[in-house]
Amino acid sequence: MKNKSACFFVLSLFVCSMFTSCNKESTTECQTIDFSTLFDGQPEKIPLKEWAKSIHFVQLETNDSILIGNIRTTILHKDKILVHHNNLSLFDLSGKFICNIGSKGGGPTEYSGINNAWTDDEGIHIFDIANKIKTYNWNGKWIKTEPIPESNIKEVFPLASGNNIKAGYIQNITGNEPHKIYLFKDSTILAKYPMANPFKKER
């Protein structure tokens, strides 16, 4: 099969974390932030140069070993690009394929599916749909598996503090969830943030 290529355009917009501190007690206080003024009047076009320093197009390598499906997210980490499509694949900044991260399956070093993923110097962290956090090194090899404190957590995000505290997002499908976000470290919940708009699901 001839080599193919995929081209994608990556723009990253970083948002400051709303979590600046946490404690071991639950809290029921909720801060209200008014965004209504942002939507007053007609929308304006904002030139890309006002919020992006540069634009760089990367042509990803594809061949018999790496076929890219629908891209869900991309993560730029130093000199590497992590692409979440059907799998997690790692490329260098020129688009050259490096390796796949882990593999799908039911084994102890495999992941069942990916809710979301993030990176740090330790490696690549996958929040598995089996409600576990699996960590792989930059060669794609499994390092460890961590549990999460609650099974109703649907997405996990690391806080920028670097002390291994994570935020777990709760999806309120039933309307009965009392909390929206958990802050936790390892399997210990440090703080709980209430659901702002609870509802009762009609039968």
Q: Are residues 154 and 189 in the same domain?
A: yes
Higher pLDDT, 191 or 173: 191
Average pLDDT over every residue of 195-200: 72
* pLDDT tens digits for range 21-72: 444 444 455 667 666 666 667 777 878 878 788 888 899 999 888 889 899 9
Q: Are residues 123 and 92 in the same domain?
A: yes
Report the alpha-carbon distance of residue 82 to residue 88 in Å, rounded. Answer: 7
Q: Are residues 126 and 158 in the same domain?
A: no
pLDDT for the residue numbered 23: 41
Q: What is the CATH number of the domain that holds 104?
A: 2.40.10.480
- Matching residue, tokens 């009965």: 176
Give residues with Cβ within 8 angstroms of 5, minimum separation 6.
Answer: 59, 60, 61, 62, 95
Q: Are residues 1 and 96 in the same domain?
A: yes
Q: If phi over 0 gives left and psi between -120 and 50 gives alpha, with beta otherwise, what is residue 147?
A: beta
User: For residue 137, which of 67, 69, 77 has the smallest C-alpha distance?
Assistant: 77
Report the alpha-carbon distance of residue 147 to residue 125 in Å, rounded. Answer: 13
β-bridge pairing 132-136 and 97-100 = unpaired
Q: Are residues 134 and 167 in the same domain?
A: no
pLDDT at residue 122 tops 60: yes
Note whether residue 183 is domain-resident. Answer: yes
pTM over the 0.75 mark: no
Higher pLDDT, 3 or 49: 49
Domain residue limits at 79: 1-5+56-147
Q: Are residues 63 and 103 in the same domain?
A: yes
